[in-house]
Chains A and B, each alone.
Chain A
Amino acid sequence: EAGVTQSPTHLIKTRGQQVTLRCSPISGHTSVYWYQQALGLGLQFLLWYDEGEERNRGNFPPRFSGRQFPNYSSELNVNALELEDSALYLCASSRSTAVRDSNQPQHFGDGTRLSIL
């Protein structure tokens, strides 16, 4: 079974540019999550999509946005890049956790390492 796949693996951008990161979940998984792992800051929750809808959003500015497609793949868009956006961006997927007491574990992709110059 293929795992979560992310593209690209590495990206170098300059301040003010825009970037789109992509994620394909494990087959059968409908929930997709995005996390940011900046140096020394740990994993911070960005966004959660389930069945095409944004379900929850972390404490990030509106220039971080995304969407989920009918095939459950997802994109993360970051506009007006800033130096502090340099981080590893991780996508995870699980079976649906939209049900209140769902305990589905999340499985991570290899991430996209974004460097802002």
Chain B
Amino acid sequence: QKEVEQNSGPLSVPEGAIASLNCTYSDRVSQSFFWYRQYSGKSPELIMSIYSNGDKEDGRFTAQLNKASQYVSLLIRDSQPSDSATYLCAVRSRNQGGKLIFGQGTELSVKP
């Protein structure tokens, strides 16, 4: 089992729709969860961080964390073509200090 798993996609949604990206992790002592966006040929850009169970909203983005189910998700409301990118889920375990473990990423395509 991979430590952090994401649906590889590609996930295709029409402009204006809600895009839902999912991530599961295997280490129960994971404490910090991050979503990064990576455009083709570019470096990852931090878009959301979440540390406690529940929802965290920032503009059109909502991160959801359920530690009991070891599940974290990212919702993008009113999706725009500029949101088309690969979204990376990253997890930090309490036992591994600063190291982030990344999922393989989900490719999102928003169609005009």
Q: Interface size on B (CB < 8 Å)?
A: 25
**A44 CA / B103 CA spacing, docked (Å):** 10
Which of chain B's residues have a CB closer than 8 A to the CB of A72?
none
Q: How large is the interface on A (under 10, 10 to 19, 20 to 34, 35 or more residues)?
A: 20 to 34
Which of chain B's residues have a CB closer than 8 A to the CB of A108?
36, 43-46
Interface string of A17-46 (1 = CB under 8 A from B): 000000000000001010100000011110
Q: Is A68 an interface residue (CB 8 A)?
A: no
Which of chain A's residues have a CB closer than 8 A to the CB of B45?
108
A binding-site residues for B, Cβ under 8 Å: 31, 33, 35, 42-45, 48, 50, 55-56, 58, 88, 90, 92, 94, 97-98, 100-111
B binding-site residues for A, Cβ under 8 Å: 31-32, 34, 36, 42-46, 49, 51, 88, 90, 92, 94, 96-105
